[in-house]
Chains A and B, each alone.
Chain A
């Protein structure tokens, strides 16, 4: 039993050892050799492809044939690495397109500067301050100088009031029968007496007697040439006895001492003429008597001159009012001969008083400045009106008035406002408000926009965009301006510009940023900007969808694998072309297990099945297209 067992064991060992081992060994060796052979075949194939530059179906099949001879099934992986170059395209961003469009824009976008100027509104309010009266009545009066009387002045009857004043007393003649001159039929008698009595004091001044012979026919003159009247003395000369009184001979009365008593006549002194006092009877039938002027009788000589005589006698020639008989005084310093205004041309403000001072010239030559009155009202504004200055005065109870004319221009009153403007007040004195301040601006400011800049679209104006200004006038009132201001916005310019807005002479600046107009794209529906001159560049968003060439290329290795290559060989043209410079590689691995492995698997399980692994590659030398 044991022997058979031994025998068995030995047989088995013998088999294993003597057959198995060499088998295993040689099969392993065979594998190695197969590998070498396969490697050779593959090398050959790769070389072939490398030199030819293409792979034909025949070449490949020959290769497969050769591989077949090794009795192993292989997995063949072909790999073709192509240097692929590809242009790189990218999509532009819309901004890039816009930049391109902008740089391609050949149009002009020029800013033209316009001068903007507004005028300050004209306000005419002429203020007449010329020749305004600077003085007042009071001031003139204060500085008036009154000149005294003219030393060369000679008193005349006018100096006593002029006109009808009696200077010398009337002569009452009273006497005998009168000549026919005294009355018709009164001539009687032989001689006549004329007694002259001073009507004032009643003293007899003169007595006139004369013979009948003398005819007093001459009604106008009785010439006592031979007779002399002596003042103050009573004497008789040629029938005239004289006496004197110390009065001023204002009135004499004559008394007749005859049977005929003629009415009492009054004789009025007419004048002193040519050495005669001329008297006239106050009677419808009047006569004039010429009495020679009495000479001074003091020394026995006669006064050729009546007044002279009186003065020498110490008489004061006075004037007597014929009505009241009161003595008249010298009035030549009260009688105004002329009146001249001190300020003939005046410009006075409304309501102000005129200068009514006038310069009076008296009869005796003296002047005086007084305040005259006028009823000229300075309420109304007039130009070169004539105002009458009236000066009333009283002399001896008689009132006189003198007038003179002044040219007056009444101007309205002016006022200066706080801003320094002078303007006329209303006629009634009310303040209409300074017209300058009303019309002129104090300041101009922009209220909308409330920042210093505004963004608008091209072609629109500032008014369209709601730019409004606030104008504050000098008098404080405010006005909002929505239009009507002047600006120098260049509506054709796109960009930022400094716009000057002006209204009524005030200027203000505003930064205006003009944007280009927009247009809606019909394709994509987005808004895009037009060129500054209005031409259409095309929608940048649509253009951005179009890829542009970046100018760079992608160089990469594209690998084609066996499936594609074989596809081309078998289903396509039958030739697969390579480019020079491509890399062709082939990897051959065994699919079926080789002999050796199979045997080895008996002993040691899970041996790696792939033990033939050949990988060869080569760059193609004579390919087609060169990518150089």
Chain B
């Protein structure tokens, strides 16, 4: 064989190889691009969901707007995926969301697809909300119902708490168990109960809540598989591994957990996009700021700033609840407590 034969051979092989490689890389690139864009969309959607998840109603208590949150998420997704005018596609999108969990203070809701039979005998599939599932846990002594804050509901199985009376159901702050006199008896009987230990309690509570949610998620995720099949989705839905650190945020307050799986991406639907998002919403207590008057300007301090404790300074009485309010009152940031994120006063002495 001559060289030119090898060359031709080589060219043939090379073309094949190059083409295939090209295709593959291109595919990868396209998937990556899609992923990026979907990521962005998803982020926006989950942000809008989380924004309206919780609000403070007139009485001052927290209200979890689960429907609004989910609606917002879906609308945002439709908008970014350009499905606003297409009802059918909108419905199909929902199939890629196996389950949504909305956690509240004392329980959680699930949003999942379910089959049901209607009066006309046909089976319909639609999304529905579950009831509120409390964070419950059972051991030998009590049946616990945890909440995201320190409140706890106990069902006293063995009458450890209330020896004299008939009360079996207690709703209390768990600290009371270790401090209150009426539970002296209990403390004697169960000195190493995790209820009496702060760290342990927190640990148990967190673990329990996470476990519960994860279990529900797993269950309904799997359940979705059967439903998705009917839509022709061959993707196998499964709960992804969610790191504990991610869960922390969700159990600190009402949050929304969205699983989004199996969305086809890439040029020829070669890959699927899987994402989960946990968006916790906290109704944070607004940071209180106090203004101090310097020579010709004001300075706002956070509530715990050490500068406030110095003597000989003039502090105004009214508290301000946001940096914007402070600035609107004419205050610069305190270089010690807010200097990182605020603007400090220029150096000018009249």
- The answer to whether A and B belong to the same complex is yes
* Residues of chain A whose beta carbon lies under 8 Å from any beta carbon of chain B: 10, 13-14, 17-18, 21-22, 25-26, 29, 32-33, 36, 39-40, 43, 47, 50, 82, 84-87, 89, 542, 545-549, 551, 553, 558, 568, 577-579, 618, 621-622, 624-628
Tell which of B18, B249, B343 touches A558, judged by Cβ atoms closer than 8 Å: B343
Q: With contacts A14-B3, A17-B10, A87-B328 known, is A29 near B21, CB below 8 A?
A: yes
Q: With contacts A17-B7, A39-B36 known, is A547 near B348, CB below 8 A?
A: yes
Bound-complex Cα distance A248 to B107 (A):
187
Are the CB atoms of B28 and A33 closer together than 8 Å?
A: yes
Shortest A141–chain B CB gap in Å is: 108
Bound-complex Cα distance A622 to B338 (A):
17
Q: Can you name the residue of chain B whose Cβ is closest to the Cβ of A14?
A: B3
13 contacts between A and B (CB under 8 A): A18-B6, A21-B14, A33-B25, A47-B43, A87-B298, A87-B331, A87-B332, A546-B296, A547-B348, A551-B328, A558-B343, A625-B341, A628-B324
Measured as residues with beta carbon below 8 angstroms from the partner, the interface class of chain B is 35 or more
Q: With contacts A25-B18, A627-B324 known, is A618 near B341, CB below 8 A?
A: no
Q: For A86, list chain B residues within 8 Å (CB).
A: 327, 332, 343
Q: Does B125 contact A (CB under 8 A)?
A: no
Q: For B39, list chain A residues within 8 Å (CB).
A: 43, 47
Are the CB atoms of B323 and A87 closer together than 8 Å?
A: no
Tell me what chain B mostly uses at the interface: helix, strand, loop, or mixed: helix
Q: Does B292 contact A (CB under 8 A)?
A: no
Bound-complex Cα distance A18 to B323 (A):
66
* Residues of chain B whose beta carbon lies under 8 Å from any beta carbon of chain A: 3, 6-7, 10, 14, 17-18, 21-22, 25, 28-29, 32, 36, 39, 43, 47, 249, 287, 295-298, 322-324, 327-332, 338, 340-343, 348, 350
Q: Can you name the residue of chain A whose Cβ is closest to the Cβ of B29?
A: A36
Q: For B343, list chain A residues within 8 Å (CB).
A: 84-86, 558
Tell which of A14, A22, A32 touches B17, judged by Cβ atoms closer than 8 Å: A22
Tell which of A39, A40, A548, A577 touches B341, judged by Cβ atoms closer than 8 Å: A577
Q: For B341, list chain A residues within 8 Å (CB).
A: 82, 577-579, 624-625
Q: For A548, list chain B residues within 8 Å (CB).
A: 296
Tell which of A13, A18, A87, A626 touches B322, judged by Cβ atoms closer than 8 Å: A626
Bound-complex Cα distance A18 to B10 (A):
7
Interchain residue pairs A-B with the least CB separation, the first 9: A549-B330, A545-B350, A86-B343, A87-B330, A546-B350, A546-B296, A85-B327, A10-B3, A625-B341
Q: Can you name the residue of chain B whose Cβ is closest to the Cβ of A50?
A: B43
Tell which of B25, B324, B348 touches A29, judged by Cβ atoms closer than 8 Å: B25
Bound-complex Cα distance A542 to B340 (A):
33
Shortest A184–chain B CB gap in Å is: 158
Are the CB atoms of B332 and A32 closer together than 8 Å?
A: no
Bound-complex Cα distance A17 to B14 (A):
10
Shortest A541–chain B CB gap in Å is: 11
Are the CB atoms of B296 and A547 closer together than 8 Å?
A: yes
Q: Can you name the residue of chain A whose Cβ is closest to the Cβ of B10?
A: A18
Are the CB atoms of B297 and A549 closer together than 8 Å?
A: yes
Bound-complex Cα distance A39 to B28 (A):
12
Besides A13-B7, A547-B350, A627-B322, 16 other CB < 8 A contacts?
A14-B6, A17-B10, A22-B17, A25-B18, A29-B25, A47-B39, A50-B43, A84-B342, A87-B327, A87-B330, A89-B297, A89-B330, A553-B328, A578-B341, A621-B43, A627-B323
Query: In this complex, which of B32, B327, B329 has the most chain A Cβ atoms within 10 angstroms of its Cβ?
Result: B327
Are the CB atoms of B323 and A36 closer together than 8 Å?
A: no
Shortest A535–chain B CB gap in Å is: 23
Q: Can you name the residue of chain A whose Cβ is closest to the Cβ of B278?
A: A51
Bound-complex Cα distance A217 to B332 (A):
170
Are the CB atoms of A85 and B323 closer together than 8 Å?
A: yes
Are the CB atoms of B32 and A40 closer together than 8 Å?
A: yes
Bound-complex Cα distance A537 to B14 (A):
93
Shortest A615–chain B CB gap in Å is: 12
Q: With contacts A29-B25, A47-B39 known, is A13 near B17, CB below 8 A?
A: no
Are the CB atoms of B330 and A36 closer together than 8 Å?
A: no
Shortest A438–chain B CB gap in Å is: 68
Q: For B332, list chain A residues within 8 Å (CB).
A: 86-87
Q: Can you name the residue of chain A whose Cβ is closest to the Cβ of B333?
A: A86
Q: For A33, list chain B residues within 8 Å (CB).
A: 25, 28
Q: For A549, list chain B residues within 8 Å (CB).
A: 297-298, 329-330
Bound-complex Cα distance A39 to B332 (A):
39
Q: For B331, list chain A residues within 8 Å (CB).
A: 87
Shortest B16–chain A CB gap in Å is: 12
Bound-complex Cα distance A463 to B96 (A):
100
Bound-complex Cα distance A39 to B37 (A):
13
Shortest B11–chain A CB gap in Å is: 8
Q: For B18, list chain A residues within 8 Å (CB).
A: 25
Shortest B155–chain A CB gap in Å is: 36
Q: Can you name the residue of chain B whose Cβ is closest to the Cβ of A88?
A: B330
Shortest B327–chain A CB gap in Å is: 5
Bound-complex Cα distance A626 to B325 (A):
12
Bound-complex Cα distance A14 to B2 (A):
11
Q: For B28, list chain A residues within 8 Å (CB).
A: 33, 36
Bound-complex Cα distance A307 to B7 (A):
219
Tell which of B7, B43, B296, B323 touches A618, judged by Cβ atoms closer than 8 Å: B43
Q: For A39, list chain B residues within 8 Å (CB).
A: 32, 36
Q: For A43, list chain B residues within 8 Å (CB).
A: 36, 39
Q: For A621, list chain B residues within 8 Å (CB).
A: 43, 47
